[in-house]
Amino acid sequence: MIKAGIVGATGYAGNELVRLLLGHGGAEIKWLYSRNSAGTPYKEIYKNFFQIIDMDCTDRDLSELVSDVDVVFTATPQGYLSTVLNREMLNKARFIDLSADYRIKDIGVYEKWYHLSHGSPELVKDAVYGLCEINREEIRKTRLLANPGCFTTCAILTAYPLVKEGLIEEKSIVINALSGVSGAGRSAKVQNLFCEVNENAKAYGVTTHRHTPEIEEQLSIAAGKDVMVNFTPHLVPMQRGILSTISADLKAGTTEDAISAAYEKYYGKEQFIRLLPYGECPETRHTEGSNFVDIGFKVDSRTGRAILMGALDNLVKGAAGQAVQNMNIMFSLPESQGLTAIPMVP
């Protein structure tokens, strides 16, 4: 039985980690860390756990708590883990970080986009980017796992096979993505109030969204050269979900069959990536509550561009579900353990 601790347990991603781990069968939660809710029963913070979990939040020193577990999940704001993590703690437990602190290898890029000074740059080289379907072998061996962001998971997985196989012009990639409000977290913000979000859709972080360098870095690794993208996120009035629509110029000779073959090559045997029939568009409601990513595409012969589409649940495959999937890989468990929930419709 894997002993797990969760830092940032009272946020939406933390709540989702609790839900998934309680139903996992191969893991047990030893403690729930929250500086703001220490001493508060978790079932009072999230009433869905009434008569299911009987545990109070703690704010004991993390360097002490880490001795009680095999793995620590940190669902915390950017900048937290990099300021507290050290090699001694890593020797005691594996860490799966849901923030961006260890996702980007170039420290200067991280500090520029996140406006933070990195607290432990010496550990960045040890971290593995936890996109399960792409970095599985590296994930098995690491003690520090950088869990990808929600927008990035959807965008990278949707574009990766075509970039890796050289089927699209790398300089022409444009990504438009829609997100549910839970992606902004649980903290009180005026812009996320019901009256601000309901019956409304808006772009935000235009040209400045912090997931941009993460997408570019991973697609650059796939392409073997620098890739820059236009990434524009949008907030829409739903609780969960990410929908990415990616357009790019096709390279000469690229056909529908070549694109289908590329997706099949990389994802044909992947349990959590569902490749839709040609021309079928993924919908967020078909992945809600699950660890699935649905991917579809269409070729626009008039413009010579491909339209690639991906959908996932931002709190599951885009956060906690992918973190549990990474834990399964790291501890040599069946990759789907605790993650077999069927999407909820309606």
Element (H, E) at 260: helix 256-267
Q: Which residue has the tokens 């996120």?
A: 233
Angle at 303 (CA atoms; ends 300, 304), nearest 5 degrees: 70
241, 314 contact by CB (below 8 A):
yes
In this structure, what is the dihedral angle of CA atoms 160, 152, 83, 60, given to the nearest 10 degrees? -120
> 132-141 and 321-330 are packed helices; what angle lies between their axes, rounded to 10 degrees?
40
Is residue 132 part of the annotated active site? The answer reads: no
Helix (H, G, I), strand (E, B) or coil at 277: coil
Catalytic residue among 150, 154, 195, 281: 150
Tokens of 66: 């880490």
Distance CA 290, CA 319 (A): 11
For the chain, state the CA radius of gyration: 20
Q: How far apart are CA 245 and CA 175, in angstroms?
A: 6
Question: In angstroms, rounded to a whole number, what is the distance separating the alpha carbons of residues 338 and 319?
Answer: 14
Handedness of CA 180, 186, 191, 195 (dihedral sign): positive
Q: Answer whether 245's CB lies under 8 Å from 306's CB.
A: no
| CA dist., res. 257 & res. 169, Å (int) | 17
**Contact indicator for 37, 45 with CB cutoff of 8 Å:** yes
H/E segment holding residue 312 = strand 305-312
Distance separating alpha carbons of residues 185 and 187, to the nearest angstrom: 6
Annotated catalytic sites, by residue? 150
